[in-house]
């Protein structure tokens, strides 16, 4: 990533928003752990984050710089300005579009009620949008980054295209092969599923088929072909019929099989660890293991 640093405004009597952007903060969009977002203009928002110490300022700067890079790659909101002012960080960026406005009838609902709580469900989003999300994550990997905080809350739409955002946990990686990239992308896709309702995680959904196809069909000989298909937008997941046929030539990758194979894990949730803190990136010797072990490690976030 090229050298990147925010402007620093050190005036004591200074309106950090109006004087810099020529606009005042509009309607509050929402607040999170990293601060609050407000409408600035019809198509732009401003994120305001309180930075109480040098560590938080460094973290904020790193995330803003990554956001700027990925915005230039058209896989994240475009960042028009970011600066430091009076112990706060400010980012001026594109306004996210409402999912229903973009997807229309392609998307039934973005969330649904499960046991009285709203649960995110990637399976309710049409395949073409799920494909675009996958392509965003793949483009990050192609540029030597992995998101590491993949869930539907960090997927959105801008100017009628799918994008990803929130790069606080994003890690820089150097991939030794296209096979490494395939494994990293499969992990990213399974991580999205981790945040979906449990009963949907092993469904025949599009993301599940993409992740499983990548793992089942990847090896030292055709990983480059698969990765090229992903990057040229010609990749498509195998049908359920083909996936079942592929299983006959490999070990089963069902949760039931894995639990029986790894009896010491039988009482645990095989998805534990498949979150933002998981460290499940390719290690030397991984590809010499049987396929079911590779899938087990990818899906559980096991440190190996």
In a domain, 1, yes or no: no
Is residue 167 a contact partner of residue 137, using CB atoms and an 8 Å limit?
Answer: no
Domain hosting 31: range is 7-94
Are 269 and 288 found together in one domain? yes
Are 49 and 191 found together in one domain? no
In a domain, 262, yes or no: yes
Are 108 and 69 found together in one domain? no
Distance CA 248, CA 261 (A): 17
pLDDT of 233 higher than 70: yes
- The listed range with the strongest mean pLDDT (71-80, 90-99, 120-129, 272-281) is 71-80
Q: Quote the DSSP letter at residue 22.
A: S
In a domain, 174, yes or no: yes
Are 179 and 222 found together in one domain? yes
Distance CA 218, CA 182 (A): 7
Are 181 and 279 found together in one domain? yes
pLDDT of 251 higher than 80: no
Which of these three, 94, 116, 148, is where a domain ends? 94
Query: What average pLDDT does the structure give for the chain?
Result: 75
Are 42 and 136 found together in one domain? no
Distance CA 304, CA 297 (A): 8
Q: Tens of pLDDT along 79-108?
A: 999 999 999 999 999 998 876 666 665 544
In a domain, 113, yes or no: yes
Q: What's the number of domains the chain is made of? A: 2
Are 66 and 175 found together in one domain? no
C-alpha dihedral (202, 178, 302, 201), degrees to nearest 10: -10
pLDDT of 248 higher than 60: no
Q: Tens of pLDDT along 128-151?
A: 888 999 999 999 999 999 998 888
Are 123 and 35 found together in one domain? no
In a domain, 160, yes or no: yes
Is residue 300 a contact partner of residue 268, using CB atoms and an 8 Å limit?
Answer: no
Distance CA 185, CA 140 (A): 10
pLDDT of 246 higher than 70: no
Are 66 and 116 found together in one domain? no
Partners of 93 in beta bridges: 45, 79
Res 104: pLDDT: 62
Distance CA 230, CA 55 (A): 37
Res 31: pLDDT: 86
Distance CA 71, CA 79 (A): 6
Here the CATH number for the domain that contains residue 52 is 3.30.200.20
SS (H, E, C) 225-289: HHHHHHHCCCCCCCCHHHHHHHHCCCCCCCHHHHHHHCHHHCCCCCCCCCCCCCCCCCCCCHHHC
β-bridge pairing 7-9 and 28-32: unpaired
Which of these three, 94, 117, 137, is where a domain ends? 94
In a domain, 244, yes or no: yes
Tell me the average pLDDT across 8-21: 88
Are 116 and 265 found together in one domain? yes
Confidence tier at 69 by pLDDT (50, 70, 90)? very high
Are 90 and 214 found together in one domain? no
Distance CA 83, CA 85 (A): 7
Res 197: pLDDT: 54
Using DSSP's 3-state secondary structure scheme, residue 62 falls into: helix
Confidence tier at 226 by pLDDT (50, 70, 90)? very high
Res 126: pLDDT: 78
Q: Tens of pLDDT along 149-201?
A: 888 788 888 888 899 999 988 989 888 888 888 888 988 887 787 666 544 44
Which of these three, 74, 94, 114, is where a domain ends? 94
């Amino acid at each position: 990533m090229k050298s990147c640093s925010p402007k620093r405004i050190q005036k004591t009597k200074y309106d950090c928003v109006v004087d810099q952007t020529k606009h005042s903060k509009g309607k509050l969009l929402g607040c999170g752990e990293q601060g609050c977002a407000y409408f600035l203009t019809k198509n732009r928002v401003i994120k305001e984050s309180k930075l109480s110490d040098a560590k938080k300022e460094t973290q904020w700067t790193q995330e803003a710089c990554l956001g700027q890079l990925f915005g230039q790659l058209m896989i994240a909101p475009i960042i028009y300005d970011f600066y430091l002012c009076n112990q706060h960080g400010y980012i001026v960026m594109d306004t996210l579009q409402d999912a229903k406005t973009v997807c229309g009838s392609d998307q039934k609902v973005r969330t649904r009620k499960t046991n009285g709580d709203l649960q995110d469900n990637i399976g309710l989003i049409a395949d073409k949008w799920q494909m675009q999300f996958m392509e965003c994550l793949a483009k990050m990997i192609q540029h030597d980054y992995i998101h590491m905080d993949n869930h539907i809350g960090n997927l959105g739409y801008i100017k009628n295209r799918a994008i990803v955002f929130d790069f606080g946990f994003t890690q820089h990686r150097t991939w030794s092969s296209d096979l490494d990239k395939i494994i990293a992308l499969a992990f990213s896709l399974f991580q999205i599923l981790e945040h979906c309702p449990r009963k949907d995680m092993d469904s025949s959904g599009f993301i599940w088929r993409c992740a499983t196809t990548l793992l089942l069909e990847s090896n030292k000989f055709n990983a480059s072909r698969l990765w090229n298909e992903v990057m040229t937008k010609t990749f498509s997941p195998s049908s359920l019929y083909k996936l079942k046929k592929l299983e006959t030539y490999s070990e089963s990758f069902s949760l039931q099989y894995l639990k029986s194979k790894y009896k010491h894990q039988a009482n645990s949730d095989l998805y534990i660890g498949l979150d933002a803190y998981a460290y499940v990136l390719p290690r030397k010797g991984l590809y010499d293991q049987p396929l079911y072990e590779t899938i087990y490690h990818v899906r559980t976030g096991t440190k190996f």
